[in-house]
Amino acid sequence: MTPTLIIVPGLGDSGPQHWQTLWQHKFGAERVRQDDPENPLPEVWAARLHEVIEATPGQLVLVAHSAGVATVAHWAQLSGGEDMARVRGALLVAPADPEQPGMAELHPQLLALAPLPLDELPFPALLVYSENDPYCTPERAEAMAEAWGAAAVSAGEAGHINAESGHGEWLDGEILLSEVLHAWTPPDVVRF
């Protein structure tokens, strides 16, 4: 049985042209909708993710973007039990680093997600990062992946891997998603 995808958006809930929204409709995915998508609070956002996971039967794959990646890390740190065991894997895309110098000027709402949990995730994960993402350096993304026990994949100079950076349907992402769905374990760092 194919796992159910759970879309975990970042700030602003990923708009209608964002690949997460397009994937939700294309793949019949569930979606985490935060009450306040502009102001992430780790416990609140993790609790909402937990609610969606509890309400979704079967095996699951989390598909997180930006602040949604931090939400997955906080949820993994705060949760446990049966629901955690049902997560078959996670695709973590363009993580936003709340501890990045200058974040207070760039996007102060993200500061609420600090400190970012860096405990190993209890499920396989693939972290996709961009070489020129304003919200996270490649070095920091690779350090997150290493701490979480995730494989890291560079998407090249892809901005924040969202609609604004030209990643509407994001077909390369679908290839990476298929690898997560098939429990592929790539090398530590892959560049394409």
Q: Convert the pLDDT of each residue in 24-77 to its tens digit.
A: 999 999 999 999 999 999 999 999 999 999 999 999 999 999 999 999 999 999
Nearby residues of 161 by Cβ (< 8 Å), 6 or more positions away: 19, 65, 93, 94, 128, 130, 133, 155, 167, 170, 173
pTM of the prediction? 0.92
Does residue 163 register a pLDDT over 80?
yes
Encoded tokens for 30:
């569930």
User: In the chain, what are the domains?
Assistant: 10-121+148-191 (3.40.50.1820)
Q: What's phi and psi for 156, nearest 5 deg?
A: 75, -155
The DSSP symbol for 120 reads P
* Residue 102 per-residue DSSP state: T
What is the sign, positive or negative, of the torsion defined by CA atoms of 108, 110, 112, 114?
Answer: negative
